[in-house]
């Protein structure tokens, strides 16, 4: 019995070893199938309220089965009106923890009346693909699925297992994400195709590539002041809820949270500073060399695009108060939206707001849903090296740097559950050019084969 098994194992191994050579595929061979699936993906209206995610997940599952995935390696997990898709690509070494590959199948709503073209039809024009989700993020959903299918057809056997963990409501409630993070937290790390990515200059030359290794914590605080009210002809200004709230808001407007830094922000500012010019670039380099440089911190803090990289920020975003034109207000409240530096607790931000406002009559509460604190993921040389080598196949010498984003991607729940997570969207775009979440969302058509190349090459490097 055991001899037979050994013989069988040996022949199977030999067959597997020779298989990749026999049926290796090229990216151009994979492109027609990829574009077919992308067309289907854009037509699937996986927006909130239409409940189309489960059907889209079943479509992707069918494609994977047709490429040779066992039914038992694919799971669709229902979550309220949506679903998550989990796919196991088994590895040969069971002692190695898996790598998670994260993406989301849902998209932000799009009203066809407001779009120049039908948002749910993939259109190619002047080198661009148009449609809801081409940038955020159905191109990567399909590129990852195609890469798994291609690996399977090629007979690729990774040492380390890969698990696709696709959520179905990343843009809204993230219920499916929470379920995935609960089930799959025992992983080596997670790669998120929905964060990070490359930047082109005006002439489509690659400038820099960012691996997202941290994101800020999102939190909303409600400030509430109540007062006795009464007839507006009998004022008592010190007790007036609107005046007291206005004073509190003035104090918050004038307050700056302390300067903070971590290895990711320093590396990011250093590299960005080296690749740009002017006073802001000089401040980035100075801050990266010495985070105690108050002058550099002041220059960065004066720029809305960079203040969030070195501080927690809290800003008034909504206001509500009073109940009649001729009555003293009984109540006034405001929303304060905070983007909290990784590693800083919500409670300490709330305490800072209370200290700054210095009026016990102003009640400060955290608005639901409860904020999710997620620590920065430690930089891993193996990962940075593999991403760099992969990107250099397309753009030799392009700078690859870690970065922190304002966040709330699926990575937030995985980082919170202890899985180091890295945003490695393979696509490049010009700043503010894709209109993700907006009208006429687009992506350069050349990013599709580039994404196929990237995932095939990167995942081979990381798992072989
Ligand atoms: Zn997204």
- Tell me, in angstroms, the distance from the centre of ligand 1 to residue 21's CA: 36
Is 19 a residue whose pLDDT tops 50? Answer: no
Ligand 1 centroid, distance to 140 Cα (angstroms): 10
**pLDDT, tens digit, for every residue of 307-339?**
999 999 999 999 999 999 999 999 999 999 999
pLDDT digits (tens, 9 = 90+) for 55-74: 999 999 999 999 999 999 99
Contact, 81 vs 56, CB < 8 A?
A: no
Neighbours of 9 (CB within 10 A): 10
Angle at the Cα of 101 (from 99 to 103), degrees rounded to 5?
Answer: 160
Q: How far apart are CA 198 and CA 192, in angstroms?
A: 14
| 449 CA to centre of own chain | 22
- pLDDT of 9 higher than 80: no
Cα–ligand 1 centroid distance for 412 (angstroms): 13
Query: Which phi and psi angles does 227 have, rounded to 5°?
Result: -145, 165
% of residues, the chain, pLDDT over 90: 88
The Cα–Cα gap between 349 and 383 comes to 33
Answer for the pair 85, 147: CB distance below 8 angstroms, yes or no: no
pTM of structure: 0.87
Ligand 1 centroid to Cα of residue 227, in Å, is 43
For residue 11, report the distance from its CA to the centre of ligand 1, in Å. 44
> Tens digit of pLDDT for each residue in 393-447?
999 999 999 999 987 899 999 999 999 999 999 999 998 788 888 889 999 999 9
Give residue 430 CA to ligand 1 midpoint distance, Å: 17
What is the model's pLDDT at position 4? 42
Alpha helices in 358-446 (DSSP H): 381-394, 411-416
Q: What is the mean pLDDT of residues 187-196?
A: 98
């Amino acid at each position: 019995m055991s001899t037979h098994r050994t013989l069988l194992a040996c022949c199977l191994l030999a067959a597997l070893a020779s298989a990749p050579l026999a049926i290796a595929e090229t990216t151009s061979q994979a492109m027609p199938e990829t574009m077919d699936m992308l067309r289907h993906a854009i037509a699937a209206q996986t927006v909130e309220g239409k409940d189309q995610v489960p059907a889209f997940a079943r479509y992707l599952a069918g494609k994977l089965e047709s490429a040779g995935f066992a039914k038992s390696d694919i799971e669709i997990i229902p979550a309220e009106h949506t679903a998550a898709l989990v796919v196991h690509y088994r590895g040969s070494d069971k002692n190695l923890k898996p790598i998670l590959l994260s993406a989301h199948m849902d998209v932000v709503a799009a009203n066809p009346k407001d779009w120049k073209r039908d948002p749910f039809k993939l259109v190619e024009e002047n080198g661009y693909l148009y449609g809801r989700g081409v940038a955020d993020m159905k191109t990567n959903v399909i590129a990852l699925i195609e890469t798994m299918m291609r690996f399977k057809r090629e007979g690729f056997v990774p040492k380390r297992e890969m698990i696709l963990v696709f959520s179905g409501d990343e843009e809204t409630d993230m219920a499916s994400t929470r379920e995935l993070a609960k089930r799959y937290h025992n992983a080596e790390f997670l790669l998120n195709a929905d964060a990070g990515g490359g930047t082109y200059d005006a002439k489509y030359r690659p400038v820099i590539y960012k691996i997202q290794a941290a994101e800020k914590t999102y939190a909303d605080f409600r400030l509430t002041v109540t007062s006795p009210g009464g007839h507006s002809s009998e004022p008592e200004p010190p007790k007036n809820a609107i005046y007291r709230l206005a004073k509190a808001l003035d104090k918050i407007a004038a307050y700056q949270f302390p300067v903070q830094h971590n290895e990711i922000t320093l590396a990011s500012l250093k590299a960005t500073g080296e690749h740009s010019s002017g006073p802001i670039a000089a401040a980035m380099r100075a801050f990266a060399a010495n985070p105690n440089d108050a002058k550099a911190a002041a220059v960065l803090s004066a720029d809305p695009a960079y203040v969030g990289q070195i501080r927690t920020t809290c800003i008034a975003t909504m206001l509500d108060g009073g109940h009649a034109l001729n009555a003293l207000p009984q109540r006034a409240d405001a929303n304060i939206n905070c983007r909290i530096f990784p590693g800083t607790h919500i409670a300490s931000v709330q305490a800072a707001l209370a200290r700054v406002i210095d009026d016990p009559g102003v009640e400060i509460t955290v608005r639901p849903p409860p904020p999710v604190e997620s620590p920065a993921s430690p930089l891993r040389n193996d990962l940075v090296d593999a991403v760099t080598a992969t990107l250099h196949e397309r753009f030799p010498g392009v700078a690859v740097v870690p970065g922190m984003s304002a966040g709330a991607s699926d990575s937030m729940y995985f980082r919170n559950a202890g899985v180091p997570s890295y945003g490695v969207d393979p696509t490049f775009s010009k700043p503010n050019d894709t209109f993700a979440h907006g009208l006429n969302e687009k992506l350069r058509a050349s990013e599709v084969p580039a994404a196929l190349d990237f995932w095939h090459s990167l995942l081979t490097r990381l798992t072989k």
